[in-house]
């Protein structure tokens, strides 16, 4: 075989040099950085979605805990009524629980407009009823679902101010902080979430506050 002509080798070298130049022009380090940034954004989105899932799960847990509590209290009222002679007090207690639970059932079936009227009716009939704080809380929740944030805040604040022993206070504070975060009051929301974590450690409200805190813009 005869050796390849010098010209053909020079052409091959020239092509290789051109390919190297093309690779250099592609700015591979920048592309790698861009890919890393994209991966980071995807990971961040996954974290947000994971936090959202945890939030929904915790809210569902809180919802059913409340439902179980109302059912338990209603059963106690029924038991007390069945084992004692009917009195005006026991009848009033049963009516109190029955009226509240009828309203709460409308929440569980997502009939929010009817639930709002039912809770308002409950508070009219039983302004000092055993479920008054819960009625105000759910009126706030309904208003929040409808994005009526001023009314929602008013109802949640009523729970905090008027019912100092209510087990709804941590959740009411969480709701107010959430409204603050959704209406652009980021600093106020951040402080409120931190305070909830500090004041109510180990509670569902504290867990949700932790998640919400991580979702706030830096």
pTM over 0.75: no
CB 51 within 8 A of CB 214: yes
Residue 191 lies in a domain: yes
Q: How many domains does the chain have?
A: 1
Instruction: Determine the Cα–Cα distance for residues 133 and 96; give it in Å rounded to an integer.
Output: 13
CA 152 to chain centre: 15
Q: Which of these, 119, 111, 124, 114, lies nearest to 136 by C-alpha position? A: 119
Encode pLDDT of 2-14 as tens digits.
Answer: 454 555 667 777 7
Query: Tokens in use for 75?
Result: 């059963």
CA distances from 188 to 65, 118, 157, 192 (A): 29, 33, 15, 6
Find the length of the chain: 218
Range of the domain at 97: 53-215
Residue 91 lies in a domain: yes
Encode pLDDT of 98-157 as tens digits.
Answer: 899 899 889 888 899 999 999 999 999 999 999 999 999 999 999 999 999 999 999 999
Residue 146 lies in a domain: yes
Instruction: Determine the Cα–Cα distance for residues 171 and 53; give it in Å rounded to an integer.
Output: 18
CATH of the domain at 136: 1.25.40.10
């Amino acid at each position: 075989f005869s050796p390849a002509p010098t010209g053909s080798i020079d052409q091959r070298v020239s092509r290789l040099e051109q390919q190297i130049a093309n690779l250099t022009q592609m700015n591979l380090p920048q592309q790698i950085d861009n890919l890393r940034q994209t991966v980071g954004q995807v990971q961040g989105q996954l974290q947000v979605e994971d936090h959202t899932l945890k939030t929904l799960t915790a809210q569902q847990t809180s919802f059913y805990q409340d439902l179980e509590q109302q059912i338990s209290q209603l059963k106690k009222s029924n038991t007390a009524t069945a084992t004692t002679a009917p009195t005006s007090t026991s009848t009033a207690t049963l009516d109190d629980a029955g009226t509240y639970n009828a309203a709460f059932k409308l929440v569980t079936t997502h009939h929010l407009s009817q639930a709002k009227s039912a809770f308002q009716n409950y508070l009219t009939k039983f302004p000092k009823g055993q479920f008054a704080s819960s009625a105000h809380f759910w009126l706030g929740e309904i208003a929040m679902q409808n994005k009526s944030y001023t009314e929602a805040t008013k109802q949640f604040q009523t729970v905090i101010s008027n019912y100092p022993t209510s087990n709804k206070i941590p959740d009411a504070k969480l709701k107010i902080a959430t409204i603050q975060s959704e209406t652009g009051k980021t600093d106020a929301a951040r402080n409120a979430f931190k305070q909830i974590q500090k004041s109510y450690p180990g509670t569902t409200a504290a867990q949700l506050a932790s998640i919400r805190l991580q979702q706030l813009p830096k």
